[in-house]
Amino acid sequence: MVSSPPDGRAGIDAALVERLIAAQFPQWSGLPVTPVEIDGWDNRTYRLGDDMTVRLPTAAGYVPAVDKEHRWLPRLAPSLPVAVPVILGAGVPGEGYPFPWSVRGWIEGEMAARARIDDTEQFAISVAEFLLALQRCDATGGPPGGEHSFYRGASPAHYDDETRRCLAELQGRVDTERAAAVWDAALAAEWRGEPVWFHGDIAPGNLLVADGKLVAVIDFGTSGVGDPACDLVIAWTTFSGGGREAFRRTIGQDDGTWARARGWALWKALLVLSGCVDTDQELADANRRVIEEVLSDLPASAG
């Protein structure tokens, strides 16, 4: 994955955003600029006044997302059941900042932490219905899964070497024999369907809730057209029990797609765990849990 340059995030601050706005969008100059409460790694986000946000990539690898979202979000939005970001302005490099950036409308809502969700099963159904609506959007001309989406939408085989390295490093710490079998099954279940839109990062931080219900989906930076299996990983990273079953029942998908989805979930959890297993107990435990959820949720035929 891409990491930011040594001074990438430190070099982005409210003062820079104020200068960029004054130079390129003078109609909004003077509005207060404040960091959002919970920020991402790929981009820095600042609130601009009461009704807007400014979003700036932290490294060159995240830049393709800017034009992609500018081009495609307005086309996708009318067909989706909840709000998605509205692009209000396209910024260009300036004031010492080297990348394109954007101004967007502010969306009211909070990150979908479990404590903020009234009915987990209904929330899972809402997420599945959003994904189905996204898959129904016209994929003509959409960007095929590849480097811009960190290969979401393409085959998980892109990460085969990385996954096998992680399995070797984690011998004795997780059930690597079973995990390897799940990974092999994911690679064997080749996708042969028609390309559909995928989001690429369906996770609580990109799902906004209000009054306990899903109201928006944000951050389409890893979106594209291709295999939708990558969007199913939330079944194990977030849902369990009745919520997982409600998601699975609503989203449908064939056995091969679920096999690839397990591969996507396993790859990321193994990668993160291998990097923190001896340094960050909380993060390590969270990713062990994902691995255990995947391995305990296999179809009967897989043993």
**Full pLDDT tens readout for the chain, 303 residues:** 333 333 345 489 999 999 999 999 999 999 999 998 766 678 999 999 999 999 999 999 899 999 999 999 999 999 999 999 999 999 999 999 999 999 999 999 989 888 889 899 999 999 999 999 999 999 999 999 999 999 999 999 999 999 999 999 999 999 999 999 999 999 999 999 999 999 999 999 999 999 999 999 999 999 999 999 999 999 999 999 999 999 999 999 999 999 999 999 999 999 999 999 999 999 999 999 999 999 999 876 555
Distances (CA, A) of 20 to 88, 92, 115: 15, 9, 37
Helix (H) or strand (E) holding 91: strand 87-91
Shared-domain flag, residues 94 and 125: no
Shared-domain flag, residues 122 and 271: yes
Among 233, 289, 205, smallest CA distance to 281 is for: 289
pLDDT at residue 299 in the model: 77
Shared-domain flag, residues 172 and 288: yes
Domains held by the chain: number: 2
Domain that holds residue 37: 14-107
Shared-domain flag, residues 75 and 102: yes
Shared-domain flag, residues 22 and 139: no
Shared-domain flag, residues 31 and 163: no
What's the whole-model pTM score?
A: 0.91
Torsion, CA 236, CA 124, CA 75, CA 104, rounded to 10:
-80
Rounded distance, CA 116 to CA 122, Å? 13
**CATH code at position 224:** 3.90.1200.10
Shared-domain flag, residues 123 and 181: yes
Rounded distance, CA 280 to CA 284, Å? 6
Q: Domain ends where: 57, 77, 107?
A: 107
Torsion, CA 89, CA 41, CA 187, CA 174, rounded to 10:
-160
- Is residue 7, in this structure, part of any structural domain at all? no
Shared-domain flag, residues 122 and 40: no
Shared-domain flag, residues 266 and 139: yes
- Is residue 272, in this structure, part of any structural domain at all? yes
Rounded distance, CA 289 to CA 295, Å? 10
pLDDT at residue 298 in the model: 83
CB 201 within 8 A of CB 177: no
pLDDT digits (tens, 9 = 90+) for 48-72: 999 999 999 999 989 999 999 999 9
CB 222 within 8 A of CB 62: no
- Is residue 6, in this structure, part of any structural domain at all? no
Shared-domain flag, residues 117 and 262: yes
Residue 83 DSSP code: B
Shared-domain flag, residues 93 and 241: no
